[in-house]
Structure 1
Amino acid sequence: MIKPIALTAGAIVAACLAGCAATPEQVAEQKAQTQREFAQTIGNRKPVRTEDCINPSLIEGPQIVGDKYVVYRESGRRYWVSEIDHCPALAPLNSLIVELHGSQLCRNDQFRVLEPGASIPSAYCRFNRFTAYERPDTAGE
């Protein structure tokens, strides 16, 4: 005979949260994976300068790398990277809905993230400054 188990609402919530919480090892592995993906995306490019704004008509993208980086490509030789402080929905294969105010894409411009198959985007997130990454042989062009 199977006996039913009575659980309080608090016990159910605690069990759900315990099952959803990432361990420190999982968090460290996720950070390491993001850094590996970022290094693979950037290749041998090095950071050369940081700008508050970039010209969206000269760039392709965005590409989301891990849960931290938004990468735009400029003519394939220069990459512009904004390291996002906190945007829980940021993940590869998601789409960005960017709100441009004016002719430049700038630090503090807002965007929302749309997951595949979803119809409601995330809460607003903000871009940080954009760092230019260039190959050593083209730096300074």
Structure 2
Amino acid sequence: MRGAVLAAAALLTVGMLGAGKSDPLAGRIAGAPVRCIDLRQLNGPEIVDSQTILYHQSGKRTWKTGPVGECASLRPLDTLIVDVYGGQLCRNDRFRTVSTGMSIPSGYCRFRDFTPYDRVK
């Protein structure tokens, strides 16, 4: 009986964690993708999942990008190491990740285009 109660509690906890996730782009409208974005106005990056990286610009705009093709090392809570040339971040610029507690970065991945998402008023 006790095992059944613990199993039910574990399932409830897992269900609550999954339900707590929200779409970081909810309430926003996508614009036309661009090749480069200006880094001076951005906060981030935020790794959402293996295909989504967000950069936040003030409270109104969020830029969405991701890797070209597969980037197996891209996971939430990892640190992104970006090779920046000049003041812009552009499609095909390279990045790597470092997992928490690790010191050796992953192999290189490349950025896709950057899509602006603006908050709906």
TM-score by length of 1: 0.68
Cα RMSD after superposing both structures: 1.7
1:117: Cα distance to partner?
A: 0.6
Aligned match of 1:126: 110
Q: Which residue number in structure 1 is paired with residue 30 of structure 2?
A: 47
C-alpha distance in structure 1 between counterparts of 2:33 and 2:104, whole Å: 33
Letter in 1 for 2:116: A
Q: Which has the higher helix share?
A: 1
2:89 alignment partner AA: L
Equivalent residue number for residue 71 of structure 1: 54
Code of the aligned partner of 1:62: P
The answer to whether residue 93 in structure 2 is matched with residue 109 in structure 1 is yes
The aligned length equals: 102
For 1:49 and 1:121, the matched residues in 2 are separated by: 32
For structure 1, the 5+ residue unaligned runs are 1-32
Write the distance in 2 (CA, Å) between the matches of 1:115 and 1:94. 5
Q: Give the secondary-structure state (helix, strand or coil) at the position aligned to 2:24.
A: helix
Which structure has more relative contact order (CA 8 Å, sep 6+)? It is 2
Letter in 1 for 2:107: A
Instruction: Name the residue aligned to 2:66.
Output: 83
Query: 1:102 offset after TM fit, Å?
Result: 1.6
How far the C-alpha of 1:83 sits from its partner, in A, is 2.8
Which residue of the other structure, out of 22, 34, 39, is the alignment partner of 1:56? 39
Code of the aligned partner of 1:71? L
Structure with bigger strand share is 2
Structure with the greater alpha carbon radius of gyration: 1
Q: Which moved more, 1:76-85 or 1:122-131?
A: 76-85
- State the alpha-carbon separation in 2 of the partners of residues 67 and 48 from structure 1: 22
How far is 1:101 from its partner? 1.1
